[in-house]
Structure formats: structure tokens, C-alpha cells
């Protein structure tokens, strides 16, 4: 722990946040060793964080719609009618290499230019077309359809990990233009890279340190605390639990984790993929109902293949609605300011789900 962090702890030896709306509190994420200041704004209620329905761009020809298969590189995986020829309609989920990849299928190379280090932009960048329907998100899709999306994430992750060049496979989803989506048609991305990313290393180190100090897993403990305390619980799906993390960086940030310890998302079997789809849908529908279909980023954190610390890792999804703009304080300090206490966000999301259940 840094001196700065020690100072924060000393300065806040007694909790100053007591459910009131005006007293800020520094909170630490126990996995990533990352501080966040929860600084509720006096007059703001959760509904004040709604942003306008996804800022639509003028729709042109959508390269992800059925019938436009030739607009993308040839598919690497598709679920659908087994008799259909490749790259023709009839698919339910389709995975294609990204036409404009951030990284390319190159040999990993490194070098220096004076004091500067570089690496070749080696990697694999794929797009998962999540449904043939031209819709902006998964929230209106069936559990079976979402299960197929999750199955495609797992299947491609396993396949990409067989290539010894790739040390990590990042699954992510950007929804809404202001969250970075460049196509409206709901899709996710799979990016294999030749090293373990810093964010993952940080979580691996946090999980290993907690394991060594206590003999237990920090996320197993967190899940059990959230299920007992319930103030940050968003949805209890049985095998999967959705909650707002104690040190949430963003208003209405939600994590989904398996209740039982599990390092590797890609090892999930069919029944668990289906259960995860149910929980993910409950969260996405709750966010949509509560926030009017906000732009959001979803990231999957799972154990890297071949890492000694992998067994300590507890995989999870992090869903971060983009309701506020991060600015100079975050850039200057690396600390996020969250104006919506996660307890309030969770209560509000739970209510959104209850309303849905009453109506259905």
C-alpha cells in the first residue's frame, strides 16, 4: 500500500458516510487496491443520472445485419442452421474478425527507440454479432439468445488461448455511441493480446495477497458479505450474484460474479451459461428501465491462461454505465469520483426489477 493510501485510512479512521447524502467518503476496492471517492451531490436523486436515450447516429447500411455477410471478413464461428453455407443468413450469433482491428495477427516483436520501448501491434480482434435483429442492446433478447452470446465468448476464448502467442483474451462490450460503440447493431468484442493487461495484474495481485493473508478468496468473501448485508445487492440469480461494488467508480456500476469460486469464465458449462444469461438480462433490463437504456461498457475479467496465480482468481463481469464524464481529477490522480452511492444505486435498480416483475 502506498503512503497516500495509508494517509486516507488514517484520516478516515471513523466512517464519515452514514447514509447521508452530503458527506463524501473514500472507499477502497479490495481486489484492485483502488480508491474511489463517493461524493453524493446534495440535490441529486438516482433518476437525475438518466442520460438521453442513446444518441443515435444516422443509420446507413449495417454491416452486421443478415444479408450483409459479405461486408465483414469471413466468419470464424456461427450458431444457427447447421445446413447453411458460411457467411449467409440463418445464423443466431456470428463471430467475425474485426474489419478495422486495433491489433493484428503479427508475430509479437519488441524493441527500443532510445529510451522508448515498443511492441508490434500483435493480437486478434474479433466481433461477436449478438443477434440477427438490428437492435442496440441485448436487453430485449431471449435468455436462449443471450446464452448463445455467452457461449460464443467462451468458445472463442478457449480457441484463442490455444495460440501460444496470446497471454490474455479480453471480452468486452461497448453499447451506445458515447460508450465507444461504432456500430449500433448490438455486438461485443474479443481481443487476444500477447501480455496480461495491467488491470488484470492488479486484480491478480489483490486476490493473491488476500488469499495469502486469510486463506480465502476476496471475491468469495465479498459476494457472501453482499448476500448477507443486501444493501448493494441488485439481483440474486442463485448461481450468479449481481451487486454494486462497495468502491464503485461509476454511478450504477454493477458487477456479476459466480457465487461459487471459479477462476475461468471459459470453463462454464451449458447450464451455468444459461443461468448467467438470466442474471445478465435481469441487470441489463433493470438498467434500461431505471436509466432509459444508458450507454455502458461491459468487461469480463477472467484468469489468464498459464498464470501461476490463476487459481486464486474469481472471474466476474463489470458493467459501467456512462452517465457522467470523467475529467481532470480522475486523470490527475487516478481516483474516480462517484456522485451516486452504490447503496442508492442498488436500491433503485432493485426497485426497477420489482416493478418489472409486478407487471409481468
Which residues are known to be catalytic?
187
CA atoms within 13 A of residue 194's CA, in its CB half-sphere: 15
Distant-in-sequence, close-in-space partners of 164: CB < 8 Å, separation ≥ 6: none
User: Measuring CA to CA, which residue among 29, 1, 26 is closest to residue 14?
Assistant: 26
CA distances 136 to 57, 64, 270, Å, are 11, 12, 26
CB-nearer residue toward Zn ion: 301 or 350: 301
CA distances 281 to 49, 120, 262, 334, Å, are 21, 38, 21, 31
Q: In whole angstroms, how close is the CB of 259 to Zn ion at the nearest point? A: 9
**d(C-alpha 169, C-alpha 202), whole Å:** 16
Q: Could you list the residues that contact Zn ion (CB under 5 A)?
A: 62, 64-65, 134, 185, 217, 219-220, 261, 301, 314
Q: In whole angstroms, how close is the CB of 10 to Zn ion at the nearest point? A: 27
**d(C-alpha 314, C-alpha 203), whole Å:** 10
CB-nearer residue toward Zn ion: 257 or 323: 257
CB-nearer residue toward Zn ion: 279 or 353: 279
Q: Is the separation of the CB atoms in 336 and 36 below 8 Å? A: yes
CB-nearer residue toward Zn ion: 223 or 352: 223
Q: In whole angstroms, how close is the CB of 313 to Zn ion at the nearest point? A: 8
Q: In whole angstroms, how close is the CB of 246 to Zn ion at the nearest point? A: 13
Amino acid at each position: 500500500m502506498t503512503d497516500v493510501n495509508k494517509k486516507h485510512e488514517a484520516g478516515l479512521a471513523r466512517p464519515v458516510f452514514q447514509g447521508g447524502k452530503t458527506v463524501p467518503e473514500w472507499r477502497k476496492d479490495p481486489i484492485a487496491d483502488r480508491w474511489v471517492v463517493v461524493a453524493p451531490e446534495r440535490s441529486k436523486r438516482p433518476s437525475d443520472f438518466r442520460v438521453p436515450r442513446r444518441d443515435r447516429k444516422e443509420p446507413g447500411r449495417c454491416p452486421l445485419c443478415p444479408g450483409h455477410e459479405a461486408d465483414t471478413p469471413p466468419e470464424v464461428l456461427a450458431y444457427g442452421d447447421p445446413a447453411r453455407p458460411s457467411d449467409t443468413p440463418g445464423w443466431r450469433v456470428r463471430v467475425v474478425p474485426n474489419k478495422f482491428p486495433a491489433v493484428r495477427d503479427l508475430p509479437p516483436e519488441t524493441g527500443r527507440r532510445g529510451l522508448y520501448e515498443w511492441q508490434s501491434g500483435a493480437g486478434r480482434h474479433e466481433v461477436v454479432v449478438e443477434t440477427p435483429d438490428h437492435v442496440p442492446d441485448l436487453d430485449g433478447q431471449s435468455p436462449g439468445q443471450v446464452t448463445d452470446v455467452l457461449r460464443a465468448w467462451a468458445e472463442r476464448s478457449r480457441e484463442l488461448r490455444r495460440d501460444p502467442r496470446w497471454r490474455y483474451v479480453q471480452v468486452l462490450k461497448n453499447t451506445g455511441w458515447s460508450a465507444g460503440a461504432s456500430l449500433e447493431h448490438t455486438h461485443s468484442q474479443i481481443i487476444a493480446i500477447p501480455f496480461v493487461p495491467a488491470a488484470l495484474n492488479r486484480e491478480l495481485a489483490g486476490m493473491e495477497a488476500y488469499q495469502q493473508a486469510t486463506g480465502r478468496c476476496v471475491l468469495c468473501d465479498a459476494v457472501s458479505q453482499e448476500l448477507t448485508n443486501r444493501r448493494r445487492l441488485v439481483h440474486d440469480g442463485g448461481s450468479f450474484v449481481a451487486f454494486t461494488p462497495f468502491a464503485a467508480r461509476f454511478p450504477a456500476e454493477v458487477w456479476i460474479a459466480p457465487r461459487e469460486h471459479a477462476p475461468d469464465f471459459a470453463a462454464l458449462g451449458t447450464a451455468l451459461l444459461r443461468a448467467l444469461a438470466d442474471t445478465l438480462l435481469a441487470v441489463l433490463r433493470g438498467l434500461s428501465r431505471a436509466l432509459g437504456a444508458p450507454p455502458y461498457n461491459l468487461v469480463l475479467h477472467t484468469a489468464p491462461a498459464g498464470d501461476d496465480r490463476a487459481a486464486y482468481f474469481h472471474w466476474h463481469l463489470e458493467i459501467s454505465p456512462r452517465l457522467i464524464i470523467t475529467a481532470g481529477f480522475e486523470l490527475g490522480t487516478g481516483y474516480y469520483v462517484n456522485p451516486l452511492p452504490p447503496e442508492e444505486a442498488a436500491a433503485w435498480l432493485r426497485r426497477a426489477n420489482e416493478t418489472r416483475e409486478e407487471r409481468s
